[in-house]
Structure 1
């Protein structure tokens, strides 16, 4: 009886140190009750040997820490092998059986022969692979294709079963399988294989039940997992819900410990194709809640030797549930259910049916999904926006998209460009060069995009930026309507390309006079919104741009970046978790957050593809009227410097 219990219940597939301890303590307790037995020396040797083996097993089972467990120690490995070898049930209980037979029975009697034969049968059955024999026998019966592949081991959530894999055959991923209480009875519940857990010693198959729960199906640890032939699957009553099977094919894992409202951790089952930026969804009582993958780590379950298990745990930030009334994701206000299934959204799912309103435009989609990322152009302009990222990450092409969208919405766009690239990529732009050109452009109904190339003037780029910003503010003030007082409308968007050259941080701007001008520009940005003037700050060096301007940008779009100082600024907008992902972003992938986004929380976006031919000839200069009326002339550098020297800093809003 002790051999049966130890081999098939306690140890089951392989003995562990704690199993050896139990076996040895049973032997020690039993032999301690003997009073003056025959062959006393051998009984004492067995008694105290069992105690020493049990104590050694306790020492081996003690976990001194991951580094110690994984370190190679030959003496520890040798001691482990000896202890497991002697303390396993078929060895130590066989020693008790043999010594008992010699001490208390006549070896020539019929009773002794029966005991020996019975013991031999037990040892033989413990060594052969009985489940595999039963599986093959069951498969051959009546020519069916059903065979035993596992047995229930543990249950997660209401409808997830982990099964021990028996033998070498395993059901394929997403196969429909059945559960039965015996190989001679019909399946009483069905499920779909959604993944597996694997360690050095065993494989556990994860099965999601179809249309039922563990309690409703009456599953226990004695339930058997079997495969089904196509005919048997078709004959199931109730029939298999194929739509549910298809849904289970998108399962990538289950919600794990450490999940909170903002973030979900999930244990990945098997080896699904998953990447940063992918959209996941978890079912709730109302709507599926979406999360976006940002990180993954390899974890390890505590164990010794082959009982340990490594697995991958993903981390995803909440995006929210899709709100079709606003064209974005709305925040979900509660944590995901423990061990809930995590599904992968993909491009096979259709995009939600949403019609853009007059102020909205789409800049891209969630990576590898069809959910759009939509911005409001009025909020983008009025509340100021920053587009940040290294060279080649996609920020300039996004800026071109914003510029052209603003122009289509009748918002004048003035680009201050130190690079000379804007006129090559904006086919409808004109160059604002020379006295009166900025005034003529603002008043012109025919031109919506103007470019000030700072390299074409002797004036310092910072001075040019202040002159343009001041002139645009004066014009917006002069054209402010009564309705604009309570509900400002965007009139002009001022784009600061390479903003670290136009509004640099004080420690990157050693000239005192230039520092004062940057402060004046910051004060214009502060009060610009109520007059309809907006700023688009574009830079590859976040740390070098004055925070007096950046802190007033209510929408942030960040592409790949590596600047630690810039990360400190971005953490205030999107949190440390998103910021950590910035160095790993692919080209044309970014994170969007803020007032203009139709989603409440930060989202990773893949920009829409653009076909943008390069202009073959230089952009034309802004035509000037022959006899202009009273105009706002762009002042010469000397005039600006002289005026600034006599002008105190403006007060904030």
Structure 2
């Protein structure tokens, strides 16, 4: 049984044992100088093996464990000692001890040699070699292996047996290996001398135990007027005879004349509650200790008062080492998808924030999505108000793949919850995140990248949010990442003229083509004809418009440098006959009708290129509620037909590499048949009930309820392109990391949109 001694104390004990050994050698063997230093005297081997046992095995070199290098030293010393024996036949078990020592040497060298290699078979061999060399090669075992046979060989197996000497030396060995009498005496004296220096402050008594890990303690101000406690203080609870569990104050509840503390017990890596050893706890007690009742709670004044091994365990315990990040513990009502915890401590939390707890010992991330205030009655009219937080499970973050992976099941009730990485992130890291990802988990450096650019296009994407919240900035960043990470051509249908003004801050001018050429638009306007009364084909210029679009799109695809084509339907003067018979006037095409024609011409070009699994063309619908409105928001039947035509293009475009990006601030007024085809969603702040109800189908009611309070530059993201298996609130990148020149530009006039 090992005792808890400091390094200085272990050296002191070793010296005492060596003195005793020398005295025994002198008494038993007589002439000290002649026998000890006479090289032909085999009998002296018991003295040196005993000395090495004391110095190496118990106190100085290997007091706790042996390494393979220690085993090499030990086995080599034994082998050399055995080889120097003159009368080998007289030494019992000579061959066995020599073989064991050689095996230890062999397996120790094998362990060191194999540590640079890997493989299932090698790992098994390495594990066996390590276990054999460190356990059998332990100095206490090896030197005992030579000490005991030596005293037997030279005190019993002789012509004149010295039974008394053998018994004394065997008893000396037993005292060292099994009982460590001197070590225990030294520790006891150390405890007695330190008694006045190390003590505890009594706080009160535990009055409740919610579970084996969580205690409630009552402090009576009438008895403890000077008590000063803070959250994070260490305490001990005497809940068993001669045993004190170690805990941490995690919460305080104020009553009129009392204070209630919540104490969470600390555990080691095996989830075993940390306790003061029975022999060490005596230093905390005075003469009145025997009169104390069970469940007495004491404040630990200094962790330095603990034994070294226990102090290390306290410092390594997850709750103590992360007490600054502690925010609560799992409460009832938690399930596989969501945890509930009472918000404790001084850490500020907010919706979208990331916390973590453990499931079967594995760290699991959760995202805060909601909170409630509650009140708990205490005693008489005393009450306690507190916050309860709700967090959705995200899983664990794979650093190699930069993605969130599922973690199955749920944490145990009362498991501690910690805040994740709540600190400022360096500018260099933010630049790296902006380059590699579309955003990050809020207030962390965990990237959320676009994982599948093909799906971003072919499976359609939507960006939803109110005016001025940053939809266009997110759009421009997505387009930039698409251009740098794919060969997709992008056609932007924009009636706001914003793209023409701002895209030059994100892309080279050679990458951008602005609309049909001016001369072609003028020709389109000049050929907006008035035809004959009974021939609709002679009225307007729709057919010519399609020809102009075909040429524009064909030229755009033929230009290798050009990646973005901006089309503004408001610049296109297009009309058709006002009726099919007895025609008297022309009708100008609406924006929705021209959007359909543009979409169909883009589809026609993609169709002619043939089927493909690769994304080839992205149609961007800016202000989509105007371009593809819901049926109850259209002004005429022509717009209904147009929206249906556009929806058909989006539905059929996937197998030809054609997809869409839909941006809108009014979810209620956009065609749901088109919006329902968007697999990837970025939802920014939304207020209208229709938008919230629609998004609820994608992200669930808990996340949709957070939409009205989302911060700027935050979005709820989900979908195939991100490979997110559940919705996640992400913190979007700052625009300054994506504009070509990082300086103030005209773009500031459009701060958010």
**Residue aligning to 2:482:** 406
**Residue aligning to 1:562:** 687
Which of 300, 305, 310 is equivalent to 2:385?
Answer: 310
Distance 1:416 1:474 in 2: 17
Q: How far did 1:327 drift? A: 2.8
SS at the partner of 1:577?
Answer: helix
**Residue aligning to 1:161:** 215
Gaps of 5+ in 1: 1-140, 355-359, 618-653
Gaps of 5+ in 2: 1-194, 278-291, 430-434, 518-547, 575-589, 748-753
**Residue aligning to 1:432:** 515
**Residue aligning to 1:176:** 234
The within-5 A match list for 1:378-393 is 378-393=454-469
User: CA RMSD, aligned part only?
Assistant: 3.1
Structure 1 residues 595 and 202, CA, compared in 2 at 3 Å: closer, same or farther?
farther
The C-alpha deviation readout for 1:527-559, integer Å capped at 9, x for no partner, is: 111110010000010111000100000111100
Which of 299, 311, 327 is equivalent to 1:227?
Answer: 299
Distance 1:430 1:201 in 2: 77
Are positions 1:189 and 2:245 aligned together? Answer: yes
Are positions 1:591 and 2:591 aligned together? Answer: no
Q: How far did 1:193 drift? A: 2.6
**Residue aligning to 2:593:** 463
**Residue aligning to 1:508:** 633
Structure 1 residues 466 and 207, CA, compared in 2 at 3 Å: closer, same or farther?
same
Distance 2:639 2:293 in 1: 77
Relative contact order, CA 8 A, sep 6+: which one is greater? 1
The C-alpha deviation readout for 1:129-181, integer Å capped at 9, x for no partner, is: xxxxxxxxxxxx94657311232233345433332234353422223333346
**Residue aligning to 1:209:** 265
**Residue aligning to 1:377:** 453
Are positions 1:343 and 2:418 aligned together? Answer: yes
**Residue aligning to 1:551:** 676
Which of 303, 306, 315 is equivalent to 1:242?
Answer: 315
SS at the partner of 1:275?
Answer: coil
The higher radius of gyration belongs to 2
Distance 1:297 1:224 in 2: 34
> Is 417-426 or 222-231 further displaced after alignment?
222-231
**Residue aligning to 1:149:** 203
The within-5 A match list for 1:534-549 is 534-549=659-674
Q: Note if contact 2:359-2:410 (Cα within 8 Å) is conserved in structure 1.
A: no
**Residue aligning to 1:50:** none
Aligned residues: 463
The within-5 A match list for 1:521-532 is 521-532=646-657
Structure 1 residues 221 and 205, CA, compared in 2 at 3 Å: closer, same or farther?
farther
What is the TM-score with the length of structure 2 in the denominator?
A: 0.57
SS at the partner of 1:596?
Answer: helix
The C-alpha deviation readout for 1:593-624, integer Å capped at 9, x for no partner, is: 1111232111000101121367769xxxxxxx
The within-5 A match list for 1:606-617 is 606-611=731-736, 612=739
The within-5 A match list for 1:63-78 is none
Q: How far did 1:441 drift? A: 1.0
The structure in which a higher percent of residues are helix is: 2
Q: How far did 1:447 drift? A: 0.7
Structure 1 residues 337 and 221, CA, compared in 2 at 3 Å: closer, same or farther?
farther
The C-alpha deviation readout for 1:317-369, integer Å capped at 9, x for no partner, is: 12122245653222333233112111111245999xx9xxxxx9511111112
Distance 1:508 1:155 in 2: 62
Distance 1:396 1:200 in 2: 56
SS at the partner of 1:583?
Answer: helix
Are positions 1:474 and 2:604 aligned together? Answer: yes
Distance 2:293 2:696 in 1: 48
Distance 1:598 1:454 in 2: 35
Structure 1 residues 461 and 203, CA, compared in 2 at 3 Å: closer, same or farther?
farther
Structure 1 residues 349 and 287, CA, compared in 2 at 3 Å: closer, same or farther?
farther
Q: Note if contact 2:682-2:716 (Cα within 8 Å) is conserved in structure 1.
A: yes
Distance 2:567 2:259 in 1: 66
**Residue aligning to 2:492:** 415
Q: How far did 1:564 drift? A: 0.2
The C-alpha deviation readout for 1:79-137, integer Å capped at 9, x for no partner, is: xxxxxxxxxxxxxxxxxxxxxxxxxxxxxxxxxxxxxxxxxxxxxxxxxxxxxxxxxxx
Q: How far did 1:271 drift? A: 4.1
